[in-house]
Structures are given as structure tokens and as C-alpha cells.
Amino acid sequence: MRAELTGAWRGGRITAPPSKSMAHRALICAALAQGESRIENIAHSKDIDATAGALRAFGAQIDFQGNTALVQGTGGRLCTPGGPVWCCESGSTLRFLIPLGALCGAPVRFCGEGRLPQRPQTVYAQLFCEKGVAFSQNDTGVCVNGRLSAGRFCVDGGVSSQFISGLLLALPLLGGASTICVRPPFESRSYVQLTRSALAAFGVQAVWQDENTLFVEEKQKYTNCNYTVEGDASQAAFFGVLGAVRGGVQLAGLRPGSAQGDMAFLPLLRQAGAAIVQAPCGALRFEQAGLCGGEASLADCPDLGPILMVLGLFCENGLVLRHAQRLRLKESDRIAAMEEEIRKMGGRIESDGGTVRVFKSALHGAALCAHNDHRVAMAMAVAALAAGVPASIDGAECVEKSWPEFWQVLQTCLGAEVTLL
């Protein structure tokens, strides 16, 4: 599918969609609980549907009724899946559920599409070897065979916090207490806090012993509950950047005090000179202002990388993004993909290892490619609208991974002229 944008739009009010990060965690916790849990404000996407389908393979019953999910949990007694567990292209689904597969005491195979089967799982491979659990990975997926035992787990904190979250979800079900020791640098700590928050909502505790050590008490039980998923800061950031550059955007649906690391987009925009004021009903209004730019670290908010690269194109002094190296291991190599697409529009951008430098640029219309990456597609759409130039984006259907309604939201909420072909 190709999205054709004229560059014209009128502005309007956007409500942030439900947080995909929190929805993954809530579904898994509910699936591990005894009894029925009700999860409100959950949105369908390829990633969320992948997690729900995988949890059904482990024995949970999940029924979607509009934006509500009714989950009949397993009480922690997981079934061994009868076939490969399909994870689509969701890294969260795969990395969160691999440790659960290692609780079954039998072979469990995980498979997916796109770049997912090739995404590195070395952290689990090493940990499982230490625990006597067989682990293998090839071009078609991952297989685990054995039963994970409690104890001490040492994890490199600079790779991905998803490994830490995956362990946190499984360890409470083991027969002994466990400790996770995170070797610094500990990046994306905020995502681990999101996992701890979800665990607590379902009656499970993971306690910090010090800034890099988590303790999980033995034989805890997940308890069913009613849970409401908060708005997604990483998706809201696309419209926050558009509003910061051009004004005319109101943003609603974000929870004040949220632990989402991607909430950093608000202070980062203010630091760059954005004018953000409080609007009625808890919304934020973005007014056009001169943007100066500066520096930002992506250590705790890597998903903001593509849209912050777009922001830099409109800042007087450009923008330097540091600790961006993990962007190369996402649905695409996001640094290379954004460099290629921004240059097509006449933008100036360069990278060196984990540092990306973006310079203020006069953009022109171009034919673009989404690189099968939802965040690249959405970021380049914002670039075209912010510059007021036409653009076509091939592979526009990739937004179904996280926000299937994205193009419709542009049309109906902002009055953007978008045609899907």
C-alpha cells in the first residue's frame, strides 16, 4: 500500500492510542493469573494480536470485545503449545514469552516474520545454558527445551530491557527466590519500571535491592484484576513534534506522572524551544515557536529516535541524538532507513556509531519507502506535513504493527490530505 500526502492539513485534536507496551504486559499478567481479568482501553494491532494469540497457545482464554479484553488466566499452569508459537514481527511478544516457554519442561518453538527471527537473543542463550535449558536459534525462529530454575541471573543492561522484563514475568512462578543483576550501562530502565508496575497491579512484587539488582520472591501468585491501559507516549510523540513545528495540535490521553520512558518527548520538546500549554480536559496544546534544538539521549527512549530525527530538521541548531545504537536492531536499521529517507527529501543527517546528527534543512517532496517499519513510516509522514510538502510512502501498511488507524487519524483529526493506494 502507498500513502500519498499533499502536505496540506488544518490541525486539530488527537487522543493518544492505548499504550502497546502496557497492553503487552497486562495481557501476559492476566494470562498468568487465576480467574478472569478485564483489560480496558486496549487496541488491536499486529503486535497485540500476536501476544494474545501466543498466550492462547499457552492455555489462556482471551476474548476481545471492542476495546476490552476478557482474559481467563491459567493460574500459572501453562500448557505446552501444540505447535510453533507465532509472534508475527513483535520483539516484545517473543522476548517476553521465551522465559514462559522455558517453564513448560518440553520443547517450545517460537517463530515470526520479517527481521524478527534474526533479532539477537544472545542474552537468553547464555542464561539458559547456565540453567541447563536448551536454547537454539536459526533463520526460522527460536526453540527452548527444559525447565527454568530459580537463582541468580546476570544480564547485560546495554542490549535490551526486554530480556529483563521477560525474566521478571516468569520468575515469580518458580519454586525459589531469584535475583536479576543488571550489568551497567542499564539502558531503557523505564521499560523495566513499566513491567514492575504491571506486576504490582496483578499482585506480584519485584523489589530493587540496589539500583541494578532486582529481587523476586518465590512462589508468588498473579491475581486477576480490572486494568485500564494508559495512552501511548511513543505514538503521541509524532503529533507532539508536528505541533511543535507548526502549531495547531492538541494532544489528549496521556497520564500525568506516567512511567513510560517515551514521556521524555515532552521535556525534550520544551528543551528545544517548543511552546506547550495546558488545554481543557487535561490536553496539551502545541503552539508554533522557534525551535533551537540541542542534544538528547535515546538510552531510555529508543523508540523516539525516528521522530526526533525529524524534529532536528526544523531546529535552528539541529539536533544531536546520542546512545542510538539499538535503533539498528529494530524492525529495520532505523538509523540507516531514516538517513536514506530524509536525504531523499533534501535533509542533512549523518551518523557515527550510536550518535546521529541532524541539521536544519529545507525539505522538498519525494517518493519515500517505509522500510517495513511503522515508526519510519509515521516519522516521514510527519516530516512531509511539518514541511508542507507532498510525499508518497510505499509500504504504508506497516503501521498496522502498532497503530492501524494512523492514516485515518491524520485524515479525520488533523484534516490531512492523505490518499491510500
Domains of the chain by residue range: 2-16+232-420, 20-218
- pLDDT (tens digit per residue) in 62-117: 999 999 999 999 999 999 999 999 999 999 999 999 999 999 999 999 999 999 99
Predicted confidence at residue 187, as pLDDT, reads 87
Q: How deeply is 32 buried, as exposed, middle or buried, from its count of CB atoms within 10 A (0-12, 13-18, 19+)?
A: buried
Give dist(CA 325, CA 351) in Å, integer: 10
Whole-number pLDDT of residue 281: 87
CATH number of 2-16+232-420: 3.65.10.10
Low-confidence ranges of the chain (pLDDT < 50): none
pLDDT at 395: 98
Q: What is the predicted pLDDT for the residue at 175?
A: 87
- The residues pairing with 154 across neighbouring beta strands, listed in sequence order, are 181
Q: State the Cα–Cα distance between residues 216 and 150, nearest whole angstrom.
A: 10
Question: Which triple of cell numbers denotes residue 77?
Answer: 499452569
DSSP output for 103-145: TSSS-EEEE-STTGGGS--HHHHHHHHHTT-EEEEETTEEEEE
Separation CA 212–CA 365 (nearest Å): 47
Nearest to residue 95, comparing CAs of 62, 127, 56?
Answer: 127
Q: Count other C-beta atoms under 10 Å from residue 290's C-beta.
A: 11
Whose cell is 487519524? That residue is 409
Contact 339, 347 (CB under 8 A): no
Q: Which three cell numbers stand for residue 345?
A: 527529501
Strand partners, 109: 143
Cell numbers at 143, concatenated:
526453540
- C-alpha closest to that of 145 among 102, 82, 110: 102
- Cα–Cα distance between 372 and 65 in angstroms, integer? 29
pLDDT at 219: 81
CA-closest candidate to residue 307, choices 327, 323, 287, 325: 327
Q: Which of 278, 253, 288, 249 is nearest to 11 (CA)?
A: 249
Intrachain domains 2-16+232-420 and 20-218 with the same fold: yes
In this structure, whether the domain defined by 20-218 belongs to CATH 3.90.1150.10 is answered with: no
Give me the catalytic one of 47, 300, 303, 373: 303
8 Å CB contact between 240 and 414: no
**Residue 300 annotated as catalytic:** no
Contact indicator for 212, 182 with CB cutoff of 8 Å:
yes
